[in-house]
């Protein structure tokens, strides 16, 4: 089994995976094009802010955890991202529909990492539903999208991990 390291990408011990939810992170949970004229209610309103962080940290890779993966192929999901960000998308987590819902996404992330030989790689998950993770998870809770506070938290997390690997 080969590592999903990309051409010119970070070495395995330098890689940091962003296990990314879409609803509630890249746009508000109830975002629809018809929710009025407020621009922050549009789909993928917070995507440019998120992508700016990814661009600033070449060691990052994206793993999609969103329920959107249940109805859309990886190529369709990747098309929402800017062209320069798409190569950083590693895939989607497996779908587990059984067992306790508490910590479900965390289990899916860990299973994906294990399946790809990356169980010891650092990861963090911006998500708007804390029930998807256990209390020990590296979660960035996004209460109302990926705003300034979430951006700052992710940047701090990435800086600390990079310093740790040093």
Residue 2 resides in a domain: no
Q: Tell me what pLDDT residue 73 has.
A: 86
Question: What is the mean pLDDT of the segment spanning 3-27?
Answer: 76
Pick from 140, 138, 142, 143: nearest CA to 154 = 140
Q: 64 by DSSP, 3-state: which?
A: strand
Query: Is the model more confident about 111 or about 75?
Result: 111
pLDDT band at 39; cut points 50, 70, 90 = low
Q: Tell me what pLDDT residue 6 has.
A: 42
Q: Tell me what pLDDT residue 96 has.
A: 86
Pick from 124, 125, 130, 126: nearest CA to 147 = 126
Distance CA 83, CA 71 (A): 22
Q: Tell me what pLDDT residue 139 has.
A: 98
User: Among all chains, which residue has been given the structure tokens 């910590």?
Assistant: 103
pLDDT in tens, 134-149: 999 999 999 889 999 9
Distance CA 58, CA 27 (A): 24
- Tell whether the model's pLDDT for residue 159 goes beyond 50: yes
Residue 7 resides in a domain: no
Q: How many structural domains compose the chain? A: 1
Q: Tell me what pLDDT residue 146 has.
A: 95
Q: Tell me what pLDDT residue 101 has.
A: 83
Question: What is the mean pLDDT of the segment spanning 93-106?
Answer: 86
Please provide the average confidence, as pLDDT, over all residues in the chain: 87
Residue 5 resides in a domain: no
- Tell whether the model's pLDDT for residue 150 goes beyond 50: yes
- Tell whether the model's pLDDT for residue 18 goes beyond 60: yes
Query: Is the model more confident about 12 or about 96?
Result: 96
Residue 114 resides in a domain: yes
CATH number of the domain at 127, please.
3.40.50.1000
Domain encompassing residue 21: 12-165
pLDDT band at 36; cut points 50, 70, 90 = low
Pick from 94, 150, 105: nearest CA to 129 = 105
């Amino acid at each position: 089994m080969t590592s999903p390291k990309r051409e010119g990408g970070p070495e395995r011990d330098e890689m940091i995976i962003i296990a990314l939810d879409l609803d509630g992170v890249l746009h508000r949970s109830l975002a629809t094009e018809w929710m009025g004229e407020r621009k922050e209610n549009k789909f993928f309103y917070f995507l440019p802010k998120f992508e700016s962080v990814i661009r600033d940290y070449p060691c990052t890779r994206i793993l999609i955890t969103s329920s959107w993966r249940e109805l859309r192929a990886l190529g369709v999901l990747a098309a929402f991202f800017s062209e320069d960000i798409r190569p950083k998308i590693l895939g989607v987590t497996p779908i587990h529909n059984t067992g306790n819902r508490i910590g479900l996404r965390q289990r899916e992330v860990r299973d994906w990492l294990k399946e790809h030989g990356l169980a010891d790689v650092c990861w963090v998950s911006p998500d708007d539903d804390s029930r998807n993770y256990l209390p020990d998870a590296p979660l960035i809770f996004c209460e109302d999208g990926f705003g300034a506070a979430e951006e700052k938290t992710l940047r701090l997390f990435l800086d600390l991990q990079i310093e740790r690997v040093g």
